[in-house]
Amino acid sequence: MSYVDAHVHLHEDPSLIEKDFLIVAVSDDLESSIKTLKLEGVFKCVGIHPWEVEESRESDLKKIEELAESAHCLGEVGLDYRFVKNRERERKFFEFFLNLSREYDLPMNLHALDAWREVFDLLLKYDIKRAYFHWYNGPLDLIEEITSQGYYIGINAAIKIQKKHLRVLERAPLKAILTESDGPYKYRGITLKPSMVREEIQKIAEVKGISAERVKEVVLSNLRSWLNLSLL
């Protein structure tokens, strides 16, 4: 059975691809969205990352809308209240993607750093059906609200060194969990990559008290629902 990595910046390093994995490749801006769409054998998200909003043009949004016709999902999109200064602009860009998601029924691969509640509220406001909170480290009491809407919680392979993230795993029900690496992002000296999800699955199995095979099975089924795939 395949492993799942629901959030990889594969355009930065296509060699990160792993044979026994289903990979969701995200983009950061127009240029990387074009690159992502050229990748083979992966699910593809197009979009503009909150960190790239300042550098991107508003005309890029229209171009990404055209690319979205050949994509499986939108991402990495969202809000970042820790590192982004121009909140008005990032909100404007995010609202463009919320409209796009609703209009084309495209699942969202979300970045919501320190804006967890705001992103969640916007999903409800825009009546978004399928959303995934990548590397969730938000308030623990928001997890239940997120999962009761049928949205997904991202558990990152960095869980082996990030204690706070372990609390998220303990709280989130397995039926709402997707696994991811965010590779090739560097976190506390580690270059994250899809292969680390293997170890992460063991950790989830240990915390939830079930077998690794069962974890893989449920995560795969979660991926299928989030991306609205009938066959894999």
Q: Which residues bind Zn ion (CB under 5 A)?
A: 76, 182
Q: Measured from the CB atom, is 27 or 147 closer to Zn ion?
A: 27
Shorter beta-carbon distance to Zn ion: residue 120 or 135: 135
Q: Is 76 annotated as a binding residue?
A: yes
| Between 76 and 80, CB nearer to Zn ion | 76
Please, what sign has the CA dihedral across residues 11, 71, 54, 131?
Answer: negative
DSSP the chain: --EEEEEE-GGG-GGG--TTEEEEE--SSHHHHHHHHH--SSEEEE---GGGTTTS-HHHHHHHHHHGGG-SEEEEEE--TTT-S-HHHHHHHHHHHHHHHHHHT--EEEE-TT-HHHHHHHHHHTT---EEETT--S-TTHHHHHHHTT-EEEEEGGGGT-HHHHHHHHHS-GGGEEEE--TT-EETTEE--GGGHHHHHHHHHHHHTS-HHHHHHHHHHHHHHHTT-S--
Q: How far is the CB of 185 from Zn ion (least distance, A)?
A: 6
Shortest Cβ 16–Zn ion spacing (Å): 13
Task: Specify the residue, 159 or 218, whose C-beta has the smaller distance to Zn ion.
Answer: 159
155 vs 218 by CB, closer to Zn ion: 155
* 72 marked as part of a ligand binding site: no
Question: Minimum distance from CB of 78 to Zn ion (Å)?
Answer: 10
- Residue nearest Zn ion, CB atom distance: 182
Q: Tell me: is residue 105 an annotated ligand-binding position.
A: no
Question: Has 7 been labeled as part of a binding site?
Answer: yes
> Shortest gap between Cβ of 9 and Zn ion (angstroms)?
6
Smallest separation, CB 119 to Zn ion (Å): 14
Which residues make up each annotated binding site for a divalent metal cation?
A: 7, 9, 76, 111, 134, 182
Annotated binding residues: 7, 9, 76, 111, 134, 182
